[in-house]
Amino acid sequence: MDSIALEKIVTAANYDPLPVVLREAKGVWVTDVHGKRYLDMMSAYSAVSLGHAHPRILKAMMEQASKLAVTSRAYHTELLGPFLKRLVEITGLDMALPMNTGAEAVETAIKAARRWGYRFKDIPQDRAEIIVAANNFHGRTTTIVGFSSDESYREDFGPFDGGFRAVPFGDAQAVADAITPHTCAILIEPIQGEAGIVVPPEGYLRELRALCDRQNVLLILDEVQSGLGRTGRWFAHEHEGIRPDGLILGKALGGGVYPVSAFVSTREVMSVFNPGSHGSTFGGNPLAARIGSEALAIIQDEGLVERSAEMGRYMKDRLRAIRSNIVTDVRGKGLWVGVEIDPTVASARVICDALLAEGVLSKDTHGTVLRFAPPLTITRDEIDWGMERVERVFSRAVH
């Protein structure tokens, strides 16, 4: 029995993968079980921003795994402090709480914001509200899907406790109108990923920052996908020159080999936690700390933030130069670009399947947007290789 057939028998159908079975990967290239190579233009939703099997990550992982891989936070290690020290230096914030997946870091941020609202803003108990954006994607836990505006994420998973108010993304006035005395935080993605690489209007984040300052509300940004160089800055919010009160990080922090995430915030916000109020068996373990530290060092040493800005401009220019009646928009920042497909002409999933046949791995979202987010190590020649095949597929998908 082949791998795809076996997966369908023994795996719950919570994903709809492209029909390819991967076996090996190096850099920006992956190889399937038949030996065919593909250009990875997704990098596992930014989890593989440093490229597959980065030698420094593998070396750090193997060295640490052979010494002390996992121990609970019941004990101190010599690795956690330096890792989080570097993380708070890069973010410009004060303290971090390490977790595993991005969704766990989002849950951490929600708990921190609510407790801050009760202890520092005197919000009545169990009345705290968090403002979120419509079409958001922050993870798959029941709390998170409870404030999703995509009904397919919520269906048959309720009841949900509430405590969230959704407003249109990119509309600062809508946020202002939604704030009440019970509002403790605004939680948004600075660029919406799963919604289709949606970039808000210029000045949106600055307006939210000013609004939060006036209303004594926390501004918490989910940069699990957009952070750590993906948009051509260390963090997407830096394009507008602001500092959030809380920052949610993950994916690339694990170097493409291990789940590492963190909620980073101010000392005041982090002061709401006390022993036993939050935790994770694996969060901040020695292996995670070593890999996270090495990932941050690689981004710095290899100039991947600057590379993302340069290569992202080039890739976006190449995509915009393609003349095709299936494309209605090309948008994004850095090496994170969404291509809107005219649904009356073609399905984005069909285009993904066609790109797969040409040796390019991408993934659609909502059937209308192609996502291009290659490892930040990609070269101009590799972008050209991919764009030639994208153009070939686009040229065939016409009336």
| Torsion angle in degrees (nearest 10) through CA of 15, 16, 18, 22 | 30
Alpha-carbon dihedral sign for residues 68, 72, 75, 76: positive
What is the number of other CB atoms lying within 10 angstroms of the CB of residue 313?
14
CATH number for domain 3-53+304-396, candidates 3.90.1150.10, 2.60.120.10, 3.30.2130.10, 3.90.76.10:
3.90.1150.10
Identified catalytic residue from 40, 83, 137, 147: 137
* pLDDT average, residue stretch 251-275: 98
> Which is the catalytic residue, given 222, 363, 364, 394?
222
Q: Is residue 251 among the annotated active site residues?
A: yes
Check if the beta carbon of residue 187 is closer than 8 Å to that of residue 131: yes
pLDDT surpasses 90 at 101: yes
For the ranges 119-123, 149-153, 335-339, the lowest mean pLDDT is seen at 149-153
The 3-state secondary structure of 278-309, one letter per residue: CCCCCCCCHHHHHHHHHHHHHHHHCCHHHHHH
Q: Where are the domains of the chain?
A: 3-53+304-396, 55-301
- Round to whole Å and give the CA distance between 117 and 245: 13
Q: Binning pLDDT at 50, 70 and 90, where does residue 248 land?
A: very high
Distance CA 102, CA 88 (A): 17
Report the CATH fold assignment for 55-301: Aspartate Aminotransferase; domain 2 (3.40.640)
Residue 293: which of 101, 78, 106, 73 has the closest Cα?
A: 78
Q: pTM of the prediction?
A: 0.96
Cis peptide bond prior to 82, omega within 30° of 0: no
| Residue 137: active-site member | yes
Q: What are 187-235's pLDDT values in tens digits?
A: 999 999 999 999 999 999 999 999 999 999 999 999 999 999 999 999 9
pLDDT beyond 60 at 398: no
Interval 90-106 mean pLDDT? 98
Average pLDDT for residues 244-266, to the nearest whole number?
98
94 is catalytic: no
Residue 159's pLDDT is 83
Mean pLDDT of 91-99: 98
Tell me which of 147, 251, 363, 394 is the catalytic residue.
Answer: 251
Strands 337-341 and 327-332: antiparallel
In this predicted structure, what is the pLDDT of residue 399? Answer: 47
Q: Which residue type does 332 have?
A: G
pLDDT at 285 over 90: yes
Mean pLDDT of 106-113: 98
Residues of the chain with pLDDT > 70, as a percent, come to 99
pLDDT at 153 over 90: no
What is the spatial distance between Cα 26 and Cα 84, in angstroms, rounded to a whole number?
A: 28
- Better-predicted residue by pLDDT, 289 or 150: 289
